[in-house]
Structure 1
Amino acid sequence: MEYTAPMPDYAMLDDTDAASLAGFDLIIDVRSPGEFAEDHLPGAINLPVLDDDERARVGTIYKQVSTFDARREGAALVTRNIGHHLETALAGLPRKSRLLLYCWRGGMRSRSMSLVLAAVGWKITLLRGGYRTWRREVVAQLEHSEAPLPFILIDGQTGTAKTAILHQLAARGAQVLDLEGLAVHRGSAFGDFSATPQPSQKRFETLIWQELRAMDLSRPVYVEAESNMVGRRQLPSRIWAAMKAAPRIAISAPVAARAAYLVEAYPDLVADTAKLNASLDQLASRHAKTLIAHWRELHAAGEFRQLAAELISAHYDAAYNRARKHREDEPVLTLRSDSLDDGAIDGLADAILAAGIKT
């Protein structure tokens, strides 16, 4: 008996709103791992039909030999890679699963894989326009939209536990946009995480939009006051404009309490002399060599709180004061605390919510 394969059948999706994406059991990004790492749709997994090296090789053949030879080489590679995915990642996938596939612009890579998966019997949908459809939505919402965002800034000098306060607000059910968490950076010369690099700019923007579109924008959204850069990642224009216009709650605490908090909040700098020295190098153009050397000596001697206190007084408070001169508004609320231990941070979060500040 001869087997006749069913004709491949797949639908097209034009929207990347949360409700549309939620209708799929699996979202498959068939682009190369490098493209996927730069950015991808929320919830997508990466099953590349060409890896980074293979994609480069096919591209070289296309430019230097011919379109035909490039397609023949690409087809061989794509076929092998799809077969591998069928035997591994897709091996146990139920027949009734609904799959959304996309590549860069909805071209040959996603269509090649969809033909095979649809022939197997899964219900396949292609994202019209591919990843670029998603990217257009992100850019439209974060760069071009003028719709207001109900931000309330948590402001304060370095070491006033703003990030910890945000986390406690979130734990109490408040809406929080943690820009430093999304950027994987603590927002200062000492703020990077050695073991975890920052996401790409595109990925940072996707993560912001992913958070925002899940929020109820009739309610306040608490955000830590930042500059327009978090490490090496730039805030999208809509976010930055909303932050500049937002009411501010200022947190105030003595230098000693702030220094103690920073030593707890930056354990990697306490433990890693090389990282501390690299961070101090970034301050070398702003302070005397003798002062930088003195700070290195404090770290080597284990005088971490003293080091933090001197950095606060000599560098960070001055930078904070310069930045705030550009704002004409006063904080709508100032909260002072002599301590920044866990109990004090809980109390500050409770006081912020009790104030009931509106945007």
Structure 2
Amino acid sequence: MIRRTVELCPGARDAFDAIIDVRSPAEFALDHIPGAVNLPVLDDEQRAAVGTEYVRGSKFLARRTGAAMVARNIAAHLEGPLADRGGSFQPLVYCWRGGQRSNAMATVMDQVGWPVAVLHEGYQTWRRQVTAALYDQPVAHRLMLLDGPTGSGKTALLTALAAQGAQTLDLEALAAHRGSLFGALAGGQPSQKAFETRLHDALSRLDPSRPVVAEAESSKIGARVIPPSLWAAMSLAPVIELTVPLAARVAHIVETYADIAADPEALDRALTRLPRHHARASVAEWREMAARGEIAELAAQLIEAHYDPAYLRTGQTRDRPVLERVLVTDLTPPGLAAAAQAVMAALDARSPDARPPDAKPLDAGPGRP
């Protein structure tokens, strides 16, 4: 018997052996439920052909042709990706609106004997839940933000914090972008809808009763926009400010951006996108430094002339309370582990309403116990 459901919390999704998206590959690529696999009952070309016939030709022929295609594709899935599934296999199936495509797959699965469920109203049900959580409702989580100038190791510190048991939200990982002019990653960014899906899934797996540490970002990470509910929570969240020596920041940037440094053309293109307020002579000099492979020297100059001034300007427009100031003497693994301990201590010692603007910095050097 085919069961219908609208329950998509992480526990409900994890209870299924597989979540099967039967939409076309193009629909799946734009966005899909986390963990879903794409077993389309019509591929992109078939869907377009059937749709064209339905609108411009014979609706009967469109349905008959589409049914034949769907039957062949389902058979291929049964003999291919689903061939090793036993009788207890419990899948959740969905399409765009929970209509003909998901029902066709579910009907065959039910006849096979699998206890199959169909997502009522399909992907649209998931999208409504994502939109409600990120656009219509306040975020329930208590956010703490790591702030600091470019190169201060905020993303690396998030990883170190997670290793020590903190709840973290890595926005740059979810957006597939390092959040700077040079931050593009191979493979590009997800669509805005897919980014929001990742955000909603990540937040839904975090405990709202415990603080969540995220990086202080601008409202956009690359081309992806932080949804309004999350941005509102970030705008009010207290920050933990990191102070890192310039030499450590330069070394960290050189290591973190080694991929773009190894691609002279990509590095040069990024430099040409610097804001116009920089003098042409300065940009030309930086491009020449990049061409000569003087990456550390280039990083130091960009910190001084571009990144730190921008960080100071942005800080003047924000009104976020400072929870703690942490001095990080180096960004090696031991230094990051010590910094994570300092941040964990700050989270434990201070309430979210603390306002210590003149707090003495915590020393997170490698020798910190």
- TM-score bin, normalised by smaller chain: over 0.9
User: Match of 1:6?
Assistant: none
Q: After the TM superposition, list the runs of 4 or more consecutive aligned residues in structure 1 that deviate by more than 4 angstroms.
A: none
After superposition, the C-alpha distances for 1:295-327 in whole angstroms (9 at most, x for unaligned) are 111112221111001111111111111111112
Please give the residue correspondences for 1:248-263 in structure 2 after superposition, counting only pairs within 5 Å: 248-263=239-254
Give the secondary structure class of the aligned counterpart of 2:91: strand
Q: 1:329 to 1:236 in 2, by over 3 A?
A: closer
Is 1:169 the equivalent of 2:161? yes
| Aligned residues of 1:61 and 1:69 also touching (Cα < 8 A) | yes
Is 1:200 the equivalent of 2:191? yes
Find the aligned partners of 2:59 and 2:272 in 1 and give their Cα distance.
Answer: 51
Please give the residue correspondences for 1:1-359 in structure 2 after superposition, counting only pairs within 5 Å: 9-193=1-185, 195-283=186-274, 285-355=276-346, 356=348, 357-359=350-352
| Aligned residues of 1:142 and 1:239 also touching (Cα < 8 A) | yes
Higher RCO, Cα 8 Å, sep 6+: 1
CA drift of 1:343 comes to 2.0
Find the aligned partners of 1:197 and 1:81 in 2 and give their Cα distance.
Answer: 30
Give the secondary structure class of the aligned counterpart of 1:123: coil
| Aligned residues of 2:98 and 2:119 also touching (Cα < 8 A) | yes
After superposition, the C-alpha distances for 1:126-163 in whole angstroms (9 at most, x for unaligned) are 11110111111111111111244200000000000000
Find the aligned partners of 1:59 and 1:72 in 2 and give their Cα distance.
Answer: 12
| TM, length-normalised to structure 2 | 0.92
CA drift of 1:281 comes to 1.6
| Aligned residues of 1:284 and 1:292 also touching (Cα < 8 A) | no
CA drift of 1:284 comes to 5.1
Percentage of matched positions with identical amino acids? 48
User: Match of 1:3?
Assistant: none
Find the aligned partners of 1:288 and 1:86 in 2 and give their Cα distance.
Answer: 63
Q: 1:148 to 1:110 in 2, by over 3 A?
A: closer
CA drift of 1:167 comes to 0.4
Which consecutive unaligned segments of at least 5 residues does structure 1 have? 1-8
Deviates more, 1:107-116 or 1:341-350: 341-350
Which consecutive unaligned segments of at least 5 residues does structure 2 have? 353-369
Find the aligned partners of 2:60 and 2:104 in 1 and give their Cα distance.
Answer: 16
| Aligned residues of 1:26 and 1:100 also touching (Cα < 8 A) | yes
Find the aligned partners of 1:320 and 1:124 in 2 and give their Cα distance.
Answer: 53
Find the aligned partners of 2:162 and 2:73 in 1 and give their Cα distance.
Answer: 43
| Aligned residues of 1:182 and 1:204 also touching (Cα < 8 A) | yes
Count the aligned residue pairs. Answer: 350
